[in-house]
Structure 1
Amino acid sequence: MANILERLNITIPIIQAGMAGGITTPELVAAVSNTGALGTIGAGYMHTNKLKEAIQRVKQLTDKPFAVNLFSANLEVFTTDVDEMQALLNKKRKETGIDKQENLVKVNDYLHEKVYLLIKEKVPIVSTAFGALSSVLIERLKENNSILIGMATNVSEAQLLEDMGYDIVVAQGIEAGGHRGTFDIEKYPNGSDIGLIALMQSILDNTSLPVIAAGGIYTRQQLDGLLAMGASGVQMGTRFLLAKEAGTNKTYRRALVKANYQDTVITNVFSGRPARAIKNGFINEIESSGLDVLPFPIQNELTKDLRAAGAEFSISDLQSLWAGQGVGALHKEESVEDIIALFTDKNRMKANLIEHD
């Protein structure tokens, strides 16, 4: 297989995960890319105009390659069938001192517009979660010479990505924080529950794609071991949450520093999709209510204002504190440069990659 460093035009086989929701500031993305690793804008929830601003700001801050991460799932929804869940959430809003919301959810989807923006802006690398892009969009991106990276949580997903023409697959183990990319959550309500080591090996054995390992990675020793197993690199999200350049709010940062390894759970109460987060009061209350959580993105839209209030008013019990199983290793804020320095000297990793390519 082609050397991943040459393919992505990077010097360090580390990808910063495209965490949606404001974490991946242009400053974070550019700082990661400037080290020789690959920064990623998390554009899943972004309006096209905001994404354009973010891309152009990253370009001002770095001349290195960077990626944009998109949700392949259709976010378009309009529904009024939210009465019971909205009633419970309105009680939380009253307690918090924010406005009551009506029983209406409307979400627009900007996937096609965002893909065309990436083509216009000549973004070199595009990654996706929650499925594969349509063949039409893949063809457009390929015409733009974009490299496509897809998230997979089982072998079938990885094989589908390969069949659709993706270039690289990220094996997301159950250890990973936030939303993993599981395609079918009706079949896998808690996400496909395979640990990283078994998942990565199974994808290596059953596809010809370069495999990036993701999930609970926070040490240089893990990186070395995964490269020795045949991974072409690693993707890390949680490890960058305490980066000084990240958009992580202060309350979220404090929760990360205080968390132990056993403090995360997989829950769908914030978004309607299974995601790993530090357990808090909101999770406990919704899960104990007996109400059915509404599907993604309806539940995500319903809880959005409460989560924002949690950030604004420094209430950690209202926030979706996404974190992987390695969160217990995080103890302080660091610059991106300092984080990357913990993982490599570049020559050692390049030699390891060439040996296992």
Structure 2
Amino acid sequence: MSFLHDRLSIEKPIIQAGMAGGITTPELVSAIANTGALGTLGAGYMGASQLKEDIHKVKQLTDKPFAVNLFAVNLESYSNEIGNMQRFLNRFRNNLGIDAGADFVKVNDYLQEKIHVILEENIRVVSTAFGVLPASLVERLKENDVLLIGMATNLDEARELEESGYDAVVAQGYEAGGHRGTFDVGKYPNGSNIGLHVLLEEFLDHLEIPVVAAGGIHHKKQVDALLAMGAEAVQIGTRFLIAKEAGTNAAYRRALLKADTNSTKITKVFSGRPARAIRNKFVKEVEGSGLTPLPFPIQNQMTKDIRGAGKEFAIADMQSLWAGQGVGAIQEEETAVEIVESLTGNVNITEA
């Protein structure tokens, strides 16, 4: 495990997934980093100033390395062809007592500015989703000794990451919660749906760079098995949603603890990209409307106020309850330290 110890400078083979949207608080990231695992700030939807502020907060709480996760795609988008979906979504807004949606949607992109912050703050690890960073940004990061980790859901994507100069790839199985990293959702409308064990074996057989396993992992037995197969580490998201330090709101937490193995499905209704979430009223009604969700990130921006109200009013049925297939195994809230120790047995890489 020299990649983890010598290059990532971590002691435990656990990477906390870069879950965007406020889950990865500085408190969560730093707590995980302090255990010797790799914490990750999910910066996909952040502006540069918010990212800088969160990085400073993490640095106040730990002197250990941590990562920043970015979307590799350009989020800059505009659309005024949203009438049918917006009118349908206004039914939810009316019930929630919030303003009707606008006639157009505009999404800004801050990727260049966030790269500047990452370099300015001397962040050593960057992970990306939804594709490969532009060659100019890869070169800029590599020139500053930043390690790059990319999410992949099939071998073609993994090879593209490797050929572009990434240092490691995450084999992101079908079981994973939230958005998986599928590059081309035109080619794979519901994501590239390959189970983790098959995907990991294929990556290990065909790639030269280290491979990290992700998707439905929630127990030490799984961690041990995946490491025995040849994974350098595992990446975990859902289990950390219920960490006491996470930014997960109370209604979301209750839904996670109530869910079982059959509670999740892949849906586009919240963001326009396929993502695994716990079934709720919003999923059922939008999917049953006959309307096609707008492409990401337009649909994501359109539902943002509804999801925000669901969080504010503690209504789980109006939130995007991202969760992996292992959610049914989560029985209680724990600290980040307790979660990492339960997954590793409190053994460091150098002791294994």
Counterpart check, 1:220 vs 2:220: yes
For 1:141 and 1:13, locate their aligned partners in 2 and report how far apart those are by CA, in whole Å: 24
Please tell me the residue identity of whatever aligns with 1:267.
Answer: T
Aligned to 2:195: 195
Aligned to 2:255: 255
Aligned to 2:294: 294
Aligned to 1:122: 122
Shift of 1:347: 4.2
Aligned to 1:33: 33
Aligned to 2:266: 266
For 2:347 and 2:273, locate their aligned partners in 1 and report how far apart those are by CA, in whole Å: 40
Aligned to 2:282: 282
SS in structure 1 at match of 2:344: coil
Please tell me the residue identity of whatever aligns with 1:23.
Answer: I
Please give the per-residue CA displacement for 1:20-41, whole angstroms capped at 9, x wherever unaligned: 0000000000000000000000
Shift of 1:3: 3.3
Counterpart check, 1:55 vs 2:46: no
SS in structure 2 at match of 1:343: helix
Shift of 1:101: 1.5
SS in structure 1 at match of 2:157: helix
What TM-score results when the alignment is normalised by the length of structure 1?
0.97
Q: 1:274 to 1:263 in 2, by over 3 A?
A: same
Please give the per-residue CA displacement for 1:162-206, whole angstroms capped at 9, x wherever unaligned: 000000100000000000000000000110000000001101111
For 1:348 and 1:89, locate their aligned partners in 2 and report how far apart those are by CA, in whole Å: 49
For 1:196 and 1:5, locate their aligned partners in 2 and report how far apart those are by CA, in whole Å: 24
Q: 2:311·2:319 contact (CA, 8 Å) conserved in 1?
A: yes
Shift of 1:78: 1.2
For 1:184 and 1:42, locate their aligned partners in 2 and report how far apart those are by CA, in whole Å: 21
Shift of 1:5: 2.2
For 2:280 and 2:347, locate their aligned partners in 1 and report how far apart those are by CA, in whole Å: 42
RMSD of aligned residue pairs (Cα, Å):
1.1
Q: 2:4·2:11 contact (CA, 8 Å) conserved in 1?
A: no
Please tell me the residue identity of whatever aligns with 2:86.
Answer: Q
Aligned to 2:208: 208
Q: 1:128·1:150 contact (CA, 8 Å) conserved in 2?
A: yes
Q: 1:271·1:295 contact (CA, 8 Å) conserved in 2?
A: yes
Aligned to 1:305: 305
Q: 1:11·1:346 contact (CA, 8 Å) conserved in 2?
A: no
For 2:106 and 2:347, locate their aligned partners in 1 and report how far apart those are by CA, in whole Å: 51
**Count of residues in Structure 1 that have an aligned counterpart in Structure 2:** 352
For 2:51 and 2:349, locate their aligned partners in 1 and report how far apart those are by CA, in whole Å: 33
Aligned to 1:167: 167
Q: 1:5·1:13 contact (CA, 8 Å) conserved in 2?
A: no
SS in structure 1 at match of 2:199: helix
Aligned to 2:23: 23
Unaligned 5+ residue runs, structure 2? none
Q: 1:105·1:302 contact (CA, 8 Å) conserved in 2?
A: yes
For 1:254 and 1:73, locate their aligned partners in 2 and report how far apart those are by CA, in whole Å: 33
Q: 1:264 to 1:350 in 2, by over 3 A?
A: farther
For 2:16 and 2:316, locate their aligned partners in 1 and report how far apart those are by CA, in whole Å: 24
Please tell me the residue identity of whatever aligns with 1:146.
Answer: V
For 1:187 and 1:114, locate their aligned partners in 2 and report how far apart those are by CA, in whole Å: 29
Counterpart check, 1:72 vs 2:72: yes
For 2:10 and 2:102, locate their aligned partners in 1 and report how far apart those are by CA, in whole Å: 48
Q: 1:4·1:210 contact (CA, 8 Å) conserved in 2?
A: no
Please give the per-residue CA displacement for 1:29-75, whole angstroms capped at 9, x wherever unaligned: 00000000000000000011000000011011000000000001110
Shift of 1:348: 6.7
Aligned-residue sequence identity (percent) comes to 61
Please give the per-residue CA displacement for 1:101-128, whole angstroms capped at 9, x wherever unaligned: 1211000000011011101110010000
What TM-score results when the alignment is normalised by the length of structure 2?
0.98
